[in-house]
């Protein structure tokens, strides 16, 4: 049995963190764009949706063409990180003009399809028996990368938004170079079958796969909507933060990044309790936070932050467990197609939830906004009950 070299996992994790920073770069500078260009409040949901639509399109194209099977995955990661960084950097040219901005965020999301899933494939090429633990670290890196632009905004609160976007692009490009330089193709690297849309008719026949997939769908209804609206929710709950962009960005980073701890802790807990039970517990916790979210507006400031940090831990902590469950219960002859279809459906559901929150935010009080996410975790828990009992 081949053992991964000591530097392999840290290199993959840092590369994934750096590449994942492209996700919410636009969200981190949105207040600046709204002030300088008069973008509407709905622009927050629109640019988030553009990235997600690009990611869905990229996932389908990368899978259909079997790009990471035909070429070295680390090369695909490198070129995707460089092109994604370029699309993100060119935002300085588009400025606060909505349609060019949406087009560039879509293109950034498209190339993220060569970073997040391909990074997982690279890890699977090196880790066989310990893949679950590696996956927990990998998803935690994605969570940290998603939060990173908010930290850059907090540390460089006097920087113009263009500098923030360029900084994120440099970090993402560095991640691609690091992966290509330090992580050769692993000994367990396997070729996968090309994407087969016909698999849609068969993959959901398995009760176990159906349970894990529908649990994941409930999780996705909540996850990215929560991440996208955390800054706005913080500002509404504590008006003083609206006047202090540095502190607002820092706490947005902290709440999102807390999910990394949930991913790692969940990965270790799954070795004793199983992925289904860990995912059930974390999804239940985040669903309860959705339901109780109006209480944040009457909590003392420290209690509010503690509540949001617990929510941040649980809302993302079940992600690697759902990845493991979907891979475990997917039909053996159609694993690649099954995972592609489920991921695309999950991100499409995320777009619906983000657009819903964006549409109702103008006439629903901010304290009730996240209550609308409660049905996702509830339905996800109902679906997961079958696997949790089985475990």
Q: Are residues 213 and 120 in the same domain?
A: no
Q: Which of 147, 162, 191 is the last residue of a domain?
A: 191
Q: Can you give the pLDDT at residue 1?
A: 41
- Total tally of structural domains belonging to the chain: 2
- pLDDT digit string, tens, across residues 252-308: 999 999 999 999 998 888 888 989 999 999 999 999 999 999 999 999 989 999 999
Beta-carbon count within 10 A of 193 CB: 14
Q: Can you give the pLDDT at residue 190?
A: 64
SS3 category, 191: coil
**Which structural domain range is residue 367 located in?**
193-391
Q: Are residues 15 and 114 in the same domain?
A: yes
Q: Which of 162, 191, 220 is the last residue of a domain?
A: 191
Q: Which of 191, 206, 236 is the last residue of a domain?
A: 191
Q: Are residues 130 and 209 in the same domain?
A: no
Which residue, chain included where needed, has tokens 């590449």?
19
Which segments in the chain show pLDDT lower than 70?
1-4, 128-133, 188-195, 242-243
379 within some domain: yes
SS3 category, 30: helix
1 within some domain: no
54 within some domain: yes
CATH number at residue 259: 1.20.1250.20
Q: Are residues 213 and 236 in the same domain?
A: yes
Q: Are residues 154 and 247 in the same domain?
A: no
Q: Can you give the pLDDT at residue 111?
A: 97
Q: Are residues 236 and 313 in the same domain?
A: yes
Measured between alpha carbons, how far is 180 from 118 in angstroms, rounded to an integer? Answer: 12
Q: Are residues 177 and 262 in the same domain?
A: no
Q: Are residues 290 and 379 in the same domain?
A: yes
The CA–CA distances, whole Å, from 170 to 15, 45, 142, 310 equal 12, 25, 17, 31
2 within some domain: no
Q: Are residues 18 and 140 in the same domain?
A: yes
Q: Are residues 210 and 355 in the same domain?
A: yes
In contact, 260 and 142? CB cutoff 8 Å: no
Q: Are residues 207 and 256 in the same domain?
A: yes
């Amino acid at each position: 049995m081949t053992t991964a070299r000591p530097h392999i996992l840290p290199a993959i994790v840092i590369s994934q963190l750096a590449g994942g920073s492209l996700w919410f770069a636009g969200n981190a500078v949105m207040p600046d764009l709204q002030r300088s260009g008069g973008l509407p409040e709905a622009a927050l949901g629109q640019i988030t949706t553009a990235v997600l639509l690009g990611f869905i399109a990229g996932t389908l194209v990368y899978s259909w063409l079997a790009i990471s099977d035909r070429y070295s995955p680390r090369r695909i990661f490198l070129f995707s990180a460089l092109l994604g960084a370029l699309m993100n950097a060119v935002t300085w040219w588009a400025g606060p003009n909505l349609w060019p901005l949406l087009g560039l965020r879509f293109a950034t999301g498209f190339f993220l399809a060569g970073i997040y899933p391909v990074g997982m494939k690279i890890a699977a090429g090196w880790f066989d028996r310990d893949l679950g633990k590696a996956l927990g670290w990998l998803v935690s890196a994605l969570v940290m990368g998603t939060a990173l632009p908010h930290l850059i905004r907090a540390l460089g609160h006097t920087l113009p938004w263009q500098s923030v976007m360029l900084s994120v692009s440099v970090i993402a490009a560095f991640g691609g170079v690091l992966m290509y330089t330090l992580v050769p193709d692993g000994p367990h690297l396997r070729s996968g079958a090309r994407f087969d849309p016909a698999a849609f008719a068969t993959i959901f026949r398995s009760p176990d796969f159906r349970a894990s997939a529908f649990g994941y769908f409930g999780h996705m209804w909540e996850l990215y909507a929560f991440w996208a609206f955390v800054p706005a929710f913080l500002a509404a709950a504590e008006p003083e933060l609206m006047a202090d962009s540095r502190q607002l960005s820092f706490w947005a980073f902290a709440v999102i990044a807390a999910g990394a701890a949930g991913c790692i802790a969940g990965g270790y807990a799954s070795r004793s309790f199983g992925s289904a039970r860990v995912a059930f517990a974390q999804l239940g916790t985040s669903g309860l936070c959705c339901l109780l979210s109006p209480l944040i507006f009457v909590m003392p400031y420290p209690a509010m932050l503690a509540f949001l940090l617990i929510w941040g831990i649980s809302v993302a902590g079940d992600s690697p467990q759902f990845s493991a469950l979907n891979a475990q219960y997917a039909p053996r002859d159609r694993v690649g197609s099954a995972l592609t279809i489920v991921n695309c459906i999950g991100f499409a559901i995320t777009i619906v939830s983000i657009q819903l929150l964006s549409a109702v935010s103008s006439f629903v009080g901010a304290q009730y906004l996240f209550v609308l996410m409660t049905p996702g975790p509830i339905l996800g828990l109902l679906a997961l009950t079958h696997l949790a009992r089985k475990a």
